[in-house]
Amino acid sequence: MIANRTLIVGIESTCDEAGCAVVADGRTVLSNVVASQIDLHARFGGVVPEIASRAHIESINTVISQALAESGITPAEVAAVAVANEPGLIGSLLVGLMAAKTLAWVWDRPLVPVNHVWAHAYAPALDAEPIEYPAAALVCSGGHTALYRCLSATELELLGSTIDDAAGEAFDKVAGILGLGFPGGPAIDRAAREGDPSIVKLPISLLKGQSLDFSFSGIKTAVLYHVNGLPGKRKGKKSRRGPHAERAAAQENAGRGIESFTAREIADLAASFQKAIVDTLMIKLRRAAKVTGARTLIIGGGVSANSALRAAAGELADKLHCRLRLPDMPMTVDNAAMTAGLGFHYLRAGRMADYNLAARATASR
Ligand code: KG4
Ligand code: ZN
Residue 318: CB atoms within 10 A of its CB come to 10
Atom number of ligand 1 nearest to Cα 116? 6
Domains of the chain: which residue ranges?
Answer: 7-128+330-348, 135-327
Report CA-CA distances (Å) from 298 to 70, 185, 345. 29, 20, 18
Q: Ligand 1 test: best mutation among 173, 303, 332, most atoms within 8 Å of CB? A: 303
Q: What is the CA radius of gyration of the chain?
A: 22
Pocket of ligand 1 (CB under 6 A): 15, 141-143, 168, 171-172, 183-186, 189, 301-303, 305-306, 333-334
Atom number of ligand 1 nearest to Cα 167? 12
* Distance, CA of 54 to CA of 59 (rounded, Å): 9
Is the torsion defined by CA of 67, 363, 95, 182 positive or negative? Answer: negative
* Distance, CA of 109 to CA of 3 (rounded, Å): 18
Ligand 1 centroid to Cα of residue 32, in Å, is 18
DSSP secondary structure letters along 184-235: HHHHHHHHHTTS-TTSS-------STT---B--HHHHHHHHHHHH-STT---
* Distance, CA of 337 to CA of 329 (rounded, Å): 13
* Distance, CA of 298 to CA of 135 (rounded, Å): 7
pLDDT at 322 over 70: yes
Burial of 70 (0-12, 13-18, 19+ CB in 10 A): middle
Contact in structure between 57 and 91 (CB atoms under 8 Å):
no
User: pLDDT per residue over 232-251, tens digit each?
Assistant: 655 554 444 444 444 555 55
User: pLDDT per residue over 182-237, tens digit each?
Assistant: 889 999 999 999 999 999 999 889 988 899 999 999 999 999 999 998 776 555 54
Relative to the alpha carbon of 114, which ligand is closest?
A: 2
Relative to the alpha carbon of 339, which ligand is closest?
A: 2
Relative to the alpha carbon of 304, which ligand is closest?
A: 1
Residue 258: CB atoms within 10 A of its CB come to 17
Burial of 294 (0-12, 13-18, 19+ CB in 10 A): buried
pLDDT value at position 31? 98
Q: Which amino acid is at 334?
A: D
Element (H, E) at 144: none
Is pTM beyond 0.85 here? yes
The dotted CATH code for 135-327 is 3.30.420.40
User: pLDDT per residue over 23-79, tens digit each?
Assistant: 999 999 999 999 887 778 777 877 888 888 898 899 999 999 999 999 999 999 999
The dotted CATH code for 7-128+330-348 is 3.30.420.40
User: pLDDT per residue over 132-150, tens digit each?
Assistant: 999 999 999 998 999 999 9
